[in-house]
Amino acid sequence: MRRGLTPADVRSLPVTIDLVTAGRALGIGRTKAYQLAQAGRFPCRVLRVGRSYRVVTADLLAVLGLPAQDTVAESAGSVGDGRPSHHGGEG
């Protein structure tokens, strides 16, 4: 049996993940994850793509109460500090 995912593991996941991986992060087994998704009761938004289920990693992070790494950088003031951007062009 596989162990769950650490917060660092979850933050390193791609933009969308399969239902089983999302379930592992939440401590939910494969069968239960599919049952919840089919009933519309999975703890975060599930996208149906063809015959498979996908979960947006940002939604999973929110359910787990984990800030995305971009959010951590913004709160530190390194990104989006409110000052106007000056990227080329004349004005």
pTM: 0.70
CB 15 within 8 A of CB 56: yes
Model confidence at 44: pLDDT above 90: yes
Of 90 and 67, the one with more pLDDT = 67
d(CA 84, CA 34): 46
Q: Which two tokens stand for residue 26?
A: 């939440």
